[in-house]
Amino acid sequence: MNICSCFPVASMKFLFPVWRFSSTRPLLSLSSSSPSRIMSIQNSSSSVSISTSTESKEKNETSPWLIVGLGNPGKKFAATRHNVGFEMVDTIAEAEGISMSSVSFKALFGKGFIGDVPVILAKPQTFMNSSGESVGAIVSYYKIPLKQVLVIFDDMDLPFAKLRLLPKGGHGGHNGMKSVINHFKGNVGFPRLRIGIGRPPGKLDSVAFVLRAFTKQEREELNFTLHDGLEAVRILLLDGFDKCAKFVNSAKKIEQTG
C-alpha cells in the first residue's frame, strides 16, 4: 500500500568513531639467569605478545549492531500505528542513554553501547516506503553483517501489542520492509522484530487504520510491549538470538484489567 512518498533530507557528513577495546599485556620479569632461561622467557614473551595483539585486533574490528525502527517522519505521523518502530527505537535510546539528535544517512542517528556491545540506532526520515535508502546506506558504509541488523516495524497480521522475532523472512506486504530488502539486493537473511497492531475494524481502510492514533487503553498496553521489546533487544545483543526468540515468542499476551 503506497501511503507516503519520499521527501529529501539533507545528509550531513557524520564521523563515526571506531570502538576501541584495550587489553593489558602481561609483564614478564627478566631476572639474571642462564642464557638458555633468558631465551626461553623471550620466546614466551613473544608468544604472549602475538596472542594478545591478535585478540585486541579482533575486538577493535567488532562490527556494531544496527537497530532500525521504521516509520514516517513529522508530527502528523507521530504516535500512529505505522510508527511503532520509531517508538521502539526511542524507548531503547532513552533507556540506554543514547542521543538521537544527529542526522546522517537520511536518518535520525545515534551511537552508543548496550552492555559492552556497540550499537547504531536509526530512524529513517525518508518516509516509510523508501526506508531502504537510509538503511542500505548505513549497512554499506559501516560494513555491518546483515545478521547484526535488526529491523523493527508494525505488523497488521499480529494481534495488537504482540511481539514476534524472526531470524529472516520476506516483507509480508509491508512497504518499508520491501524497500529495505530491495536495498539489500533481495537478501532477507536479517533478524526482524514485528510489533502487532491488529487488523482494521469493520470495513475501515487499512491505510487509514495504520495512520490512526492509539486509544488510551491501547497506549497503556503498548507501553508494556515497548518495555518487553527493550528487554528483548538487550537479550539479543548480549545473549544471542535463540535466547531472545524464546523470550519473545513464548511470552504471554498482556491482559488488561480493571
Positions marked catalytic = 82
Helix (H), strand (E), coil (C) string for 208-235: HHHCCECCHHHHHHHHHHHHHHHHHHHH
Terminal CA-CA length for the chain? 37
State the helix-helix crossing angle for 216-239 and 241-249, rounded to 10 degrees: 160
Q: What strands, in cross-sheet order, belong to the sheet with 149-155?
A: 102-104, 107-114, 117-124, 65-69, 149-155, 192-196, 163-166
82: which 3 cell numbers? 505505522
192-196 vs 149-155, strand pairing mode = parallel
Q: Which residues fall within 8 angstroms of residue 68, CB to CB, at 6 or more apart?
A: 85, 89, 121, 122, 123, 124, 131, 135, 138, 149, 150, 151, 152, 180
Handedness of CA 98, 114, 179, 80 (dihedral sign): negative
121: which 3 cell numbers? 540506532
46: which 3 cell numbers? 613473544
